[in-house]
Amino acid sequence: MSVAETAAIETLRLEGVRKSYGIGTPVEAEVLHGIDLVLKKGEFAALIGPSGSGKTTLLNLIGLLDQPTGGGLFIEGQKAGALDDAERTRLRGRSIGFVFQYHYLLPAFTALENVMMPILAARGHPDDEMRDTAAALLDKVGLTPWRDKKANDISGGQQQRVAIARALAMRPALVLADEPSGNLDTQSADSVFDLMRSVNEASRTTFLIVTHDPRLAQRCDRIIELVDGNIVSDKLNPNVIRRGEY
Amino acid sequence: MNRLAPFEWITAIRFMQEGKAQTLLIITGVALGVGVIVFMSALVAGMQANIIRRTLNYMAPIVVIPPDQVARPQRADEKAAVAALVQPRSQQLRSIDQWQKARAQIERLPDLIAVTPVASGPGFALRGDASKAVTIIGIEPETYLRVIGLAEKIVAGRPNPGTSDIIIGIELAKDLGANLGDKVRLSTASGAAETLNVVGIFDFGSKGANERNVYIALRAAQNLLNLAGGVSSIEIKVQDPFAAEVIAQTIQAETGLEADSWIKTNAQFFSAIAAQTLSNTLIRFFVGLTAALGIASVLVVSVVQKSKEIGILRAMGTSRMQVLRLFLVQGGVMGLSGSLLGSLLGWGFLMLWRGVARNADGTPMFIIVIEPMLFVLAAAGATLVGILAAAVPARRAARLDPAVAIRG
């Protein structure tokens, strides 16, 4: 199957991915022990597990922010493990969006400009098209009235919505969300979660969401449980009615 | 966002605006540094130019004289004994051999302003009971006045003597009690004497020159000094006084005559100028270094403060090179802004100095020429220093591991 054909059905594939720290030192420790995982296009999956189980490490590897010490990692059919830093950065910018527990918006920029940033970094110069794209995304997350506010002048829930819009700016195939509602109250958390869900349903963007909140995990299509660096459970959520198209 | 500005510029300017206090502080620091550099450079250059101009007012940058006479002991043959002691010859006043030919040869060289023949030697100026030892300087006024600024120093009368005229300094005029139109008798050791009319009185601002120098026509000097048709020296003015030594060496090589530059004959004065230049350069270097360290420290702090933002920029696809450029731009902008402000500050200092540093008569102590190139160089230098100072923090920012940076 060609890379394009694979990309049409499969967003992420991990084959025996391992990650060790302190290699060659007395404190060498393997934190991920051969992870096999496939996320199909349009999946909305939760990654759960106790603290220290390796969830964030796995997310960093999938997000190409870190490199595995073993195994194969494929993003939309493209082998990412062999890429150099510049190629990994390009692939990350093009195919992966991030939503963190904290929004990490750039306080010097407005909400609209924050959403434009990934496109600006990729294209080099601002243009009308990226402004329109960012405006449409802000509209989608319900923040049009706040688009010209500086990032620090809006509420926590709104900041996280801007962060979601920013993660979607490059129309990525995969959005990685690390405790996206961890800093929010229940109402805001639900609202952010609903937003991600609606984006997933509307654009078939694949989501992998790390969460400690069992209530939110139960609203995902698939729940993957990581314990001590191993996937101990990976099952479709019977409580969710899936579209069944992936 | 400015459509023409690239990503790095937009982000760098916003980062700087965000840390407004830090940015303003460092730009002020750079401005003060550049202000001091501009002020010091213009002041020292003005001071040096003034000293050199004053020195070269009554001294030609290059003087060509006949080679020294040397004693040549006679030897009968190869086996003859070599004299253990050869007494050096006394140097007589004599003419440059074929001086017209040498003058023509010199005039063909580039970078010269004027070449003039001079017949000079010792003599006595007599008037009534007063007698003073003087240096008789026989000149060809049309060329001599282009070499020596005598015309500007004339306080009474005119600067071009005819064959029966003499120009004397104000000190000699006082000593002899002579004034314009009076007669002064010049005599030399050979017994020759001439009575001449005082047609000009000069003031070089140097007591020695005002007491000793007397200017007469070349032909009159040749007669008095027993140099019939000859000249004792050829004096040359060059376009760049600092190139005088090199040109003097060329003249020496081409004519076989001895050519002394003012740099060689005023070695002590020149080393004082060089020491002043060196100390000025050192001050500029340390001020520049201080500004560079200021910029670097602000950016190092900025990299630490913004590590999470750098991490998120990297996560959203910003390359290492873009991050590197982002911080280099900040360094360059800080340097450039500081230098523009500093140039203005330096110009202000100079204007203030011009107003304050005045002689008792209200004239400026010395002329400071404000060269636009000084400001251009200061701006370019400070921008470069800013970029170089930003190199280390920029490299550090570019090498940040995004995962670690975001995690904090």
B318 contact residues in A (CB cutoff 8 A): 89, 93, 121
Final residue of a structural domain among B216, B234, B256: B256
- B48 within some domain: yes
Q: Which CATH class is domain A42-66+84-236?
A: alpha beta
Which residue is it, tokens 């070269």?
Answer: B56
Nearest to A75 by CA among A231, A221, A206: A206
Burial (CB count <10 Å: 0-12, 13-18, 19+), residue B158: middle
Q: What confidence score (pLDDT) does residue B75 get?
A: 63
Question: Helix B320-356 crosses helix B307-315 at what angle (to 10 degrees)?
Answer: 140
pLDDT at B86 over 80: no
* C-alpha to C-alpha distances, A19 to A91, B64, B230, nearest whole angstrom: 21, 85, 98
Closest CB to B313: pick one of A86, A116, A121. A121
Which one, of A113, A119, A123, A120, lies nearest residue A143 by Cα? A113
Q: Which residues of A176-208 are buried (b: 16+ CB within 10 A; e: fewer)?
A: bbbbbbebbeeebbbbbbebbbebbeeebbbbb
Spatial separation of the C-alpha atoms in residues B74 and B68, rounded to whole Å = 18
* Dihedral angle of Cα A54, A58, A64, A68, to the nearest 10 degrees: 80
Residues 386-405 of B with CB under 8 A from A: 401-403
Across B236-245, b (16+ Cβ under 10 Å) vs e yields bbbeebebbb
How distant is the Cα of A133 from the closest Cα of chain B, in angstroms?
A: 15
In a domain, B91, yes or no: no
| Predicted pLDDT of residue A245 | 46
Q: Which among B225, B256, B287 is the end of a domain? A: B256
Contact flag B317-A116 (C-beta cutoff 8 Å): no
B144 and B252 share a domain?
Answer: yes
Summarize pLDDT for B319-354 with one digit per residue, the tens: 999 999 999 999 899 889 998 999 999 889 888 888
How many interchain CB pairs under 8 A, A with B? 84
Does one domain contain both B106 and B244?
yes
In terms of phi and psi (left: phi > 0; alpha: psi -120 to 50; beta: otherwise), the region of B229 is left
Same domain, B339 and B399: yes
Quote the tokens at residue B275: 């020491």
**Separation between Cα atoms, residue B382 and residue B287, nearest integer Å:** 11
ipTM: 0.85
Taking only the tens place, the pLDDT of each residue in B284-295 is 888 888 888 888
The DSSP result for A8-67, as a single string, is: HHEEEEEEEEEEEESTTSTT-EEEEEEEEEEEETT-EEEEE--TTSSHHHHHHHHTTSS-
**How large is the angle between the packed helices A85-95 and B320-356, nearest 10 degrees?**
100
Share of chain B above pLDDT 90, in %: 42
Residue B262 lies in a domain: no
Cα B302 to its chain centre, rounded Å, is 44
Evaluate whether residue B379 is within a structural domain. Answer: yes
Report the alpha-carbon distance of residue A235 to residue A221 in Å, rounded. 9
User: Which helix (H) or strand (E) is B271 found in, with range?
Assistant: helix B267-305
**To probe the interface with B, which of A125, A166, A174 has the most B CB atoms within 10 Å?**
A125
Q: What is the pLDDT of residue B270?
A: 79
> What mean pLDDT, rounded, does chain B reach?
87
More confident residue, B408 or B97: B97
Confidence of residue B206 (pLDDT cuts 50, 70, 90): confident
Q: Does A179 touch chain B (CB under 8 A)?
A: no
Domain that holds residue B384: 7-55+270-407
Domain C-terminal end among B227, B256, B285: B256
pLDDT of residue B408: 64
Q: Which of residues 322-351 of B touch A (CB under 8 A)?
A: 322
Residues with Cβ within 8 Å of B286's Cβ and at least 6 positions away in sequence, in order, are none
Q: How many domains does chain B have?
A: 2
pLDDT recorded at residue B53: 78
d(CA A124, CA B4): 10
Query: Would you say residue B263 lies in a domain?
Result: no
B310 and B399 share one domain: yes
B76 within domain boundaries: no
The verdict on B247 and B301 lying in the same domain is: no
Same domain, B185 and B242: yes
Residues B203 and B251 in one domain: yes
The reply to whether B286 falls in a domain is yes
Cβ-based burial of B288 (10 A; exposed 0-12, middle 13-18, buried ≥19):
buried
Question: In whole angstroms, what is the distance from residue A220 CA to residue A39 CA?
Answer: 13
Chain A residues whose beta carbon lies within 8 Å of the beta carbon of residue B14: 106, 108-109
Determine the residue of chain B that is closest to A92 in CA distance: B317
Residue B297 lies in a domain: yes
Cβ–Cβ < 8 Å for A19, A61: yes
Q: What is the mean pLDDT of residues B62-88?
A: 74
Residue of B11, B14, B315 with shortest CB distance to A63: B315
pLDDT in tens, chain A (246 residues): 676 666 668 999 999 999 999 888 888 889 999 999 999 999 999 999 998 899 989 999 999 998 899 999 999 988 987 788 889 999 999 999 999 888 889 998 999 999 999 999 999 999 999 999 999 999 988 899 999 999 999 998 899 889 999 999 999 999 999 988 877 788 888 888 888 898 898 888 999 999 888 888 988 999 999 999 999 999 887 776 655 444
Whether residue B397 contacts residue B327, with contact meaning beta carbons closer than 8 Å, is answered with yes
Facing B406 at nearest CB: one of A100, A120, A127: A100
pLDDT-wise least confident of A126-140, A189-203, B203-217, B231-245: A189-203
Average pLDDT over residues B149-165: 92
B14 touching A (Cβ < 8 Å): yes
**B405 CB contacts (<8 Å, ≥6 apart)?**
B307, B308, B310, B311, B314
Distance from CA of B26 to the nearest CA of A (A): 19
Q: Give the tokens for residue B168.
A: 């004397």
